[in-house]
């Protein structure tokens, strides 16, 4: 059992008819930008209980690009008890179709992007300093690479934990 994809035009029509839009991205992603009528229920906490408010309404699931919803279509189909769809292309396609979104750039970048920026900056710094100051700075790049490898294998990201304590991430 899987969910059919619909384009932003079809989604907009269904929303006008009373469909519920569920944004499965993390709360940090949702806070920065989301579809005007979307309710945020992150994928990691999504359950039939969380969708109890849906009263025989159609449901439209979406994420940023459509990849997360497509990859989890089976799970999404299992948690919903009514007719449901996936917004093809996600929020990116919705914006491209010039549909309304709420943007709050006062919210911090989502944590994954902060980690990518931080890791990239540190790895590049280690490389440049290793070439110009001392080869020992290459260890910094190696340390960051090892940290990313560890995060990918275990699901624990030390840099994300540290960044969560930064003042711009306090809510």
Residues known to be catalytic:
63
d(CA 60, CA 22): 6
Q: Which residues of 119-139 are buried (b: 16+ CB within 10 A; e: fewer)?
A: beebbeebeebbeeeeeebee
Where residue 90 falls (left for φ over 0; alpha for ψ -120 to 50; beta otherwise) is left
**Distance of alpha carbon 163 from the chain centroid:** 17
Where residue 61 falls (left for φ over 0; alpha for ψ -120 to 50; beta otherwise) is beta
Q: For the chain, how long is the longest CA-to-CA vector?
A: 65
d(CA 39, CA 52): 13
């Amino acid at each position: 059992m899987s969910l059919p994809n619909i384009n932003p035009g079809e989604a907009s029509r269904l929303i006008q008819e009373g469909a519920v839009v569920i944004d499965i991205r993390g709360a940090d992603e949702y806070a920065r930008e989301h579809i005007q009528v979307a309710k945020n229920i992150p994928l990691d906490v999504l359950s039939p209980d969380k969708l109890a408010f849906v009263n025989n309404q159609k449901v439209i699931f979406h994420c940023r690009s459509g990849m997360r919803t497509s990859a989890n279509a089976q799970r999404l189909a299992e948690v919903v008890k009514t007719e449901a769809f996936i917004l093809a292309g996600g929020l990116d396609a919705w914006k491209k179709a010039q549909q309304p979104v709420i943007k709050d750039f006062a919210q911090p970048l989502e944590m994954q992007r902060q980690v990518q920026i931080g890791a990239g900056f540190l790895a590049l710094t280690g490389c440049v300093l290793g070439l110009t100051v001392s080869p020992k700075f290459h260890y910094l790049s190696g340390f960051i690479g090892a940290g990313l490898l560890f995060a990918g294998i275990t699901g624990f990201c030390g840099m994300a934990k540290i960044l969560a304590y930064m003042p711009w991430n306090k809510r």
